[in-house]
Amino acid sequence: MAHHKIVTLERHIIEGERSHPGATGNFSNILRDLSLAIKIIWREVSKAGLVNILGATGTENIHGDQVKKLDVLADDVIYKAMDHTGHLCVMGSEEHEEILKIPTNYPKGKYVLLYDPLDGSSNIDANVSIGTIFSLYRRITPNGDGTLEDCIQPGYKQIAAGYVVYGSSTMLVYTTGDGVHGFTLDPSIGEFLLSHENIQIPKRGKIYSVNEGNYKWWDSGVKKYIKYLQEEDKPTNRPYSGRYIGSMIADVHRTLLYGGIFLYPGDSRNPNGKLRLMYEGNPIAYIMEQAGGRAIDGSRRILDVVPKKLHQKTPVFVGSEEDVTICEKFLKEG
């Protein structure tokens, strides 16, 4: 029987680094450390349903431990897994207004990690898939403690980005600029194994993903685009299907694998929408483009937006190249 190559996340990164002459091995160490944090988060998320038995959030569980909100726990786990490694000069978390300094007693490195520890965690009580999202940048400042300037770089400066979707199986999807690769966690050995090499998003899909409850506040271009998707006259000769999970990583992951478009537009109440540029827009945009898709904020590439604030929001239109291009035309016509 032909044995499939068993490619762990670590092996894939190291083999990838060999094709990057300048690679210094730091990146494989960073992803290894991050994947440990992710496995700890996976363990907590997978027993979340048992919290009531083990103790509801904010109370003590049967072991007498304080049960933390899962997003607070995930945030803490990532920070503590990364703060001492000597690879990072600063971090930024979607859960914290300010940048997160590296403790003074630890060495500072040349990278910056931005992360959303548990996106969509409001859905966890309904057992809906949620996700962890991360972005890696090279520092701008020469040395010492990283600064806000190191954290608010445009998305095209990312050297790596990825997400984890904690669902029926737990998958880690990442890019370092050489395509997008998916790994599935084998819980029996606690390893992420390569399961989706070089993911390419279909050039056009048949699914659109948006919260239609915001319809009345959308710009006319968005309204006309969604109405267009619901008409017959397309190559598929049938309307698109609507699929909205309301957990961005789950909606983005389905869009990446099946094609179509995920959109969170700005509207008359929130011109920049709800999703955050640094923590959601940029990492997802990098992955979508690396998979042959597109990612715009309505008028330009998300990766070209020059950030002004760490938590600024951005409209998001991401997915199959042809779908985003058609959407862009409707947005431009208004």
Active site residues: 65, 71, 94-95, 116, 118-119, 280
Least spacing, CB of residue 72 vs ligand P6P, in Å: 15
Site string for ligand P6P, 244-273 (x = CB under 6 A): --xxx-------------------------
Minimum distance between the CB of residue 274 and ligand P6P, rounded to whole angstroms?
Answer: 5
Residues 151-190 contacting ligand P6P, CB under 6 A: none
Cβ proximity to ligand P6P, 111 vs 208, nearer residue = 208
Total residues in contact with ligand P6P, by rule CB under 6 A: 8
Q: Write down the least CB distance from residue 215 to ligand P6P, Å.
A: 12
Least Å distance, CB 244 to ligand P6P, is 7
Residues 204-243 that bind ligand P6P (CB under 6 A): 211
Which residue, 33 or 280, is less far from ligand P6P as judged by CB?
Answer: 280
Residue 67 CA to residue 264 CA, distance in Å, equals 33
The reply on whether position 120 binds ligand P6P by CB under 6 A is yes
Residue number, 84 or 274, with CB nearest to ligand P6P: 274
Q: Smaller CB distance to ligand P6P: residue 59 or 122? A: 122
Q: Determine if 71 is a binding residue for ligand P6P (CB under 6 A).
A: no
Residue numbers at the binding site for ligand P6P (CB under 6 A)? 119-120, 122, 211, 246-248, 274
